[in-house]
Amino acid sequence: MNFLFAIFIVGLTHMSEKIPQDSISKTEHQIQELKNEIEALEKKLDKSQGHLEELRNTESKRVGEAIDHAIKESRLMYEKSDQRLNIYLGVGGGVLLFAGFFFNFFGRRVIREFMNRELQKALDKEVKTRLDESLTEDWLKSQVEDRAQKPISRAIDLLEKNFKRVSEEMIEEEKGKHDKQRKEAKERLQIQLETLRGELEKVKIAENSENLSKEEKEKVIEFEETLQESKTESEFTANDWYWKGKAEFDREEYENSIRSYSKTLELEANDAKAWNNRGLAKSRLNLLDDALKDYEKATELDPDSSIFWFNMGALKTKLDRVEESIQHYNKSLELDPKMEYSWNNRGYSKILLGQYSQAIEDLNESIKLGGLPNAYAHRAYANLMLDKLDSALEDTEIAIKFDPDYARPYFNLGLIRQKQGKTGEACNAWKKALKLGFEEAQEKLDEFCTDSPK
């Protein structure tokens, strides 16, 4: 019997050695867990064996006698059955030997398939358990997000790069078109600008900064508008700033005009016209002392300009330095005898000094050259002071006809009517003069007109 059991064990061992290693390697971690469980069972078995030893010791005496008695009886029975057993064992051994060889040849495959099947079931069960524990909705969501984040980020980066590239190409293309159009427009405006500049220089508007005609003022403003379209201020030359200042002066933007002329002088300190015209703008703002310095610089740089000496004379009149103003007008007329403004203003200065007959001579020359409204008004006043009322009235009417909004002729008309004893008409004329801004008319209204406005 022991012999047959040994043969069975040897067969099993031999078959176990033949199990393919690749199947076991796939389930290595499951087998390791089974080994861990076997080790735990062995520890429990050791504890159970210890417990059995204790029981054996305690029960050994009690069962000792029973065992001895049983042994005796068994020995007798064994002796009787030993003969029969030997016969059975011989037959059974032959059967077992045949079964062992049969099992060795045909049972290996069955055992291997059985073990693989059982191991696969155990592995599938373990994997399912682990998956059920791990594959939660949040976990799956996080995995999807993590796996999707990289390609999404890569796609976004690619889109951004493509968009940036395309945008830059479009911008450069449009910029190129714009720059080309702007260059062409700038070239056209530059041609137009130079044409206008030539026209202005030709008629000497650059020097004649006061008393421009409407057409001349419009031409100066057109030049400045063209300048603003064709250049930025950072590109302005000294001459550009000069014409900008001129246009601002004509629009009565005197502070801006001063700034522009100052820019001219920063770039070209010896521009006599800029010094002169900045002096004009300062004079309009009643900055008379500063204006005088600019005029003096202008005449120093260009002493042959009749306009500059004329402006110096007009400023000296405002400063009540009348004798000096006459000297400047003399210099202006010496350089240009046809300067009607100088004839007119020198005549007015002589009126202020009471030199009425000499004043009329100068005013006659001014009227011959052009016939300014104020030349008629000034000559009317000089004739009035000489009691030539008819001549005075005639010049007054001409001056009013020339410019209905010129205040001085109405003041003169009031003086004439007052001398003629026509006080009512005189008061009406002075009221008109006051309304147009001639403040001296208020004194006459206060003196001769009881219902005069205050």
Q: Mean of the per-residue pLDDT values for the chain?
A: 76
Dist CA 392 CA 229 (whole Å) = 51
Range of weakest confidence among 31-35, 53-57, 157-161, 364-368? 53-57
pTM over 0.75: no
| 162-203 pLDDT, tens digit each | 767 777 777 777 767 656 555 555 455 455 455 555 555 544
| 94-116 pLDDT, tens digit each | 555 555 555 555 555 666 676 66
Dist CA 291 CA 279 (whole Å) = 4
> pLDDT-derived band of residue 15, with 50, 70 and 90 as boundaries?
very low
Model pLDDT, residue 32: 74
